[in-house]
């Protein structure tokens, strides 16, 4: 399905990541979006047994589809900037939706919990 499809759900390939993130949330291992965006390649793949990958995949879904698509255009602008060879920094990611990290984290947690409630 297209990312803008309002009926999007977590498919089988993401279901395990979602369950892993649920465990991270329960164990207090949730990585804030700013911290996630700050990870270098080595730490991205090794932090908490590689759970950053699953959280990042869900964060992309959040930026595209969460909050009724309110963040979509800002995220697309971020991706355009990165495609134009601007450095993909946390500051650039946060600037495009124009929200604080606290607001983004709270929205992401709501998104993840809503997905978990569906399963």
Closest CA to 38 of 75, 87, 73, 76: 87
**pLDDT block averages, 10 residues each, the chain of length 119:** 45 63 72 81 65 79 92 94 86 88 91 82
Q: Which helix (DSSP H) or strand (DSSP E) does residue 76 occupy?
A: helix 72-83
- Cα-to-chain-centroid distance, residue 86: 20
Angstrom distances, CA of residue 116 to CA of 21, 40, 70, 112: 9, 28, 21, 6
Tell me the two tokens of residue 29. Answer: 């291992």
pTM over cut 0.85: no
């Amino acid at each position: 399905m297209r990312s803008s499809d309002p009926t999007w759900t977590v498919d089988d390939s993401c279901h395990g990541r979602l369950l892993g993130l649920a465990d991270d949330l329960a164990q207090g291992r949730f990585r804030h979006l700013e911290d996630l965006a700050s990870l270098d390649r080595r730490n991205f793949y090794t932090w908490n047994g590689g759970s950053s990958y699953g959280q990042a995949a869900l964060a992309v879904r959040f930026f595209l589809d969460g909050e009724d698509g309110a963040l979509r255009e800002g995220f697309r602008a971020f991706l355009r900037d990165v495609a134009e060879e601007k450095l993909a920094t946390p500051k650039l990611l946060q600037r495009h939706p124009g929200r604080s990290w606290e607001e983004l984290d709270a929205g992401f947690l709501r998104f993840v919990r809503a997905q978990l409630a569906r399963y």
